[in-house]
Structure 1
C-alpha cells in the first residue's frame, strides 16, 4: 500500500468511507480487465451503492417537489353510498303491520381549492426545490470522496510496479556479480567468505523482489475489492509510459481555499441547508395567518318506494353548492409558536453546520497544502541523495569487477543505494499524490 511504511501523511484524510460497498457488474465475470485511472474512477462512480442510494434519495426529493407543486391544484373526490333497510311498516290500505325492504342511495362530487394560506404552499415548493438541489450536491460530494480513494489505491499499485522494476534489476545485477565472484573463487583469486557474502546478498535481493511482488498482488486485490469486481475476473491497471512530478508547483493556499469555499459541493450543500431551514420558519409562521379555501359540490340521491321514479328523484334531488371557508387561528395552545421557535432553532443549527463545514474544508485544504509542501521537500532531498548514491554504487560495482573494492565496502554502498532508491520512488509518488489532491480541492480533475 502506498506510504505504508513511513510518511503516512494522507491516511486521516482518506480513511473516511474507505469501506464503501460497490455494486458488482456481472458482465465482467471471467474477463481480463486492464483499466487506467479515469476508467477506475468512472466505474466506481457508476456502481457505488452509496452513490446510487443518494441518487434514489434525490429521486425521492424530486417526487416531494412535484407533490408540493401539486398543492396549488384543486382536489376532486367522488362519493357514492347505497343503504338497504328492513322494517315493519303500517300498510296504507288496512292499517296492519307488514314487512318491507327499502333502499336509498346518495351520490356526490366535491372539490376544494386553497386560495390563501399564508404563502405556505409557495414556501413549501421553494423548500422542496432546494432539497432536490441539495441531493444533487450530496451525489457530487460522495463522488469526490470515492475519487480520492481510487486515486490513492491506483498510485499505490504504480509505486509497486516501479519498485518491481528496480528490484528485478537489482536481482539481475546480483546474479551477474555472484557469477563473476564464483569464477574468481574457482581460480582461487578471492576468499570463500567474499563469495558467500555476495550469495547472501543475492538471496536477500531475491527475497525483497518476492515481497514486492506480494505487495503488488495485495494492492491490486485492494483496488479490485474497492471496485467490487467479480472474484474470478483478472484485474490489472494500465501503467502510463512515464509518470513524474514534472510540475511540482502549487498555487497559493489562500487562492485554493477561496476556490474550494466557493465551489465545493459540501459548502453548497450546507448553504442550501440554511435556506431550507429559513423556508421552514416561513412555513411555520403561516400558522398565525388565516386561510381561505374555496369549495364546490354536486350531490343527489333517491329513496325506494317513492312515487317518483329513480331518475326523477335524482333530478329532483340534484343540488349544487359553492362557497368560501375562512379559517382564522385565534388560540392554538402554543402549537404554532412552538413550531416557529423550533424552525428558528433549525436555522441556527444550519448556520452552525455551514460554519463547521467551511472550517473543516479550510483546514483540509490547508492540510493538503502542507502535505504537498512536505512531500516536495522530501522529494527534492531524496532526488539528490539518490543521484549521489546511484553514482557511488556504479563506481563500487565497477571496482568490484576489477577486484579493487572489498565486499564489505561494496555491500555497504549497495545498501545505501537501495535505501535511497526506495526513498526516492516513494517520495516521487507521494509528491504526485499530494499535488493531485491539493489541485482536486480547486476543482481540477484527477488524471495521470
Structure 2
C-alpha cells in the first residue's frame, strides 16, 4: 500500500473539487434531522437553492472529475465488465440524523475502518488523532484515547512497552467486547479497556521502515477465546490473546497485508493486500485453503457473512466480490461502485444486509437473500472514514471526512417498507 498519509488523505483518492467559499458559508452548521432533510431535499443540509449550481449538476461533475486511486492502471475500467446489474431504489435504512458536531478524520487515504458502533446509540470514531465516543441519545461525545500526546501502559503484561508511545498517528482501530485496539503508522499497537482508565498494553509490531498497521480486528478464535489480529505493511499477520496480550501466531506473506477478517467460527481468515489475488487461510497455521482470483488491483476491505460460508472483498478496481467457501473458483456476485475504490464492507449481524463504502460519496446497501440484486444507494458528498451497523442491526452509521461538511450520519432500519422489498 502507499505510504501517503496525513493532510494528503482528502485529496489523493480523488480530486476533491469544492463549491468554493460561497458553499462553505451556506453550509448548515447545525445537525440535520429527517424532517429538515425532506424540506431541503438534502441529508447534509446543503441549501442548493442558494447556490449557482444544482445538486444534479454538481453530482455529474463529481462523477466525471473524481480520480480513483489505482495501483494497477485502468483496473476500474476493466473490472466493470462482469458486474451484477442490481436493481437500485430500495430503502432498507432511512436517514435519521446528520451530526455535524462529530468531525471524523482520515490519516491514510486507503484505510477507512475508522467508525465502530457498539450499540444502537454508541459510536466510536477517529477524530483529531483521538478515539472518541459519540452518544446519539445525548448528542455529545468524549475522548476515549487521546493519541496526540504520550500514552503508556498502566498495567504490566509481558512484552508491553512500558515507555509507551508519543504522538501516534492512527492508521486503524477496532472496538468490540469492551475493548479498543489501535494501530499506528510506525507499527504501534495500543490496547485499552473502555471501562477502565489508562492503557492496558503497548506493543510495536515491527521496526521496519514501512511499518503501517493497516488493519486490526477483534474476534473469537475457534475455541471461543477473545483475540485480536493485526495486519501490517511488513507482510505480517499477528494474532494476540486478548486476555494476556501475548502473541500466539505470526503469519507472513510476500506483500503488504491491507486487511484481514476472521470467520464467525474462528477457523478461517481472509487475507487481502498489495496483490490482486486474495487468500483464504487456516487460522491455526496460516496455510492457504484457497485463492481468491478475480480482482484486478489491490484490496483494502473484507468481511464475513454470519453464516460462515459467504464473505466479501473490496478492491481499488471499484468492485466488491462476494465469495462462497464451498466453491472459490468464481465469485458469487461482483458489485460495482460509482466513483472509487471499495474501502469498507460490513454485514448486519442477522446477515440480511451488506453495506459497501466507496472512497467517497456513496454507500451501497444490498439485501443478501436476493442474490445482491436489491440495492439501496446512499448518495452524499465527502470522503468516507468508515461505516458500521449497530450489533442489533437497527442503525447504520457513516463517517464523512471533509473540511466543509464533515459529520457522522445515522440511518435507521426500515422495518416496514425495507422488509417488504
Indicate the structure with greater strand content: 2
TM-score (structure 1 length as normaliser): 0.22
TM-score (structure 2 length as normaliser): 0.23
Rg bigger for which structure?
1
| Greater RCO (CA < 8 Å, at least 6 residues apart) | 1
